[in-house]
């Protein structure tokens, strides 16, 4: 799993990408032409203190890591956590992320659990 690290990468995803949202997460998706996916997770201070923010980031990354084979390749994904994500458990975050990915048309759940 590769991460988005530079501000320019995030800004490109915000400006050129498609956007889908639900109560817990916002997903921005744009092509990167690399043949592999990169993911960036953004959790603002509005969500909670550093412990809470890091927990949400770990949950989102773990959901993506375990579901990565179902995602289309060659994409930059930026996931922005909303305030309600601080109280969410793993199953809720998983459901929210995969729901957004299916709405964006980048996730194929056939053959995955």
Q: Any idea what the Cα angle at residue 98 is, between residues 109 and 23, rounded to 5°? A: 155
* CATH code of the domain made up of 2-101: 3.30.230.10
Task: Report the distance separating Cα 64 and Cα 109, nearest Å.
Answer: 13
Statement: residue 5 has pLDDT above 80: yes
Sheet holding 25-31, edge to edge: 2-3, 38-42, 75-81, 25-31, 18-21
Single out the residue of 75, 113, 82, 34 nearest to residue 101, CA to CA: 75
pTM of the model: 0.92
Statement: residue 111 has pLDDT above 70: no
Statement: residue 85 has pLDDT above 80: yes
Q: pLDDT confidence of 113, banded at 50, 70, 90?
A: low
Contact 67, 98 (CB under 8 A): yes
Statement: residue 41 has pLDDT above 90: yes
The DSSP H or E segment spanning 2 is strand 2-3
Report the mean per-residue pLDDT for the chain: 94
Contact 97, 29 (CB under 8 A): no
Spans of all domains in the chain: 2-101
Model confidence pLDDT, tens digit, residues 21-34: 999 999 999 999 89
């Amino acid at each position: 799993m590769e991460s988005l690290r530079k501000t320019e990468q995030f800004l490109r995803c915000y400006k050129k990408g498609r956007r889908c949202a639900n109560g817990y997460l916002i997903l921005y998706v744009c092509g990167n032409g690399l043949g592999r996916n990169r993911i960036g997770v953004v959790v603002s201070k509005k969500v909670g203190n550093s412990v809470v923010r890091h927990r949400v980031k770990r949950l989102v990354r773990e959901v993506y890591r375990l579901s990565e084979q179902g995602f289309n390749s060659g994409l930059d994904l930026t996931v922005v956590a909303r305030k309600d994500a601080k109280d969410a458990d793993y199953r809720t975050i998983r459901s929210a992320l995969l729901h957004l990915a299916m709405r964006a048309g980048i996730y194929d759940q056939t053959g995955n659990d």
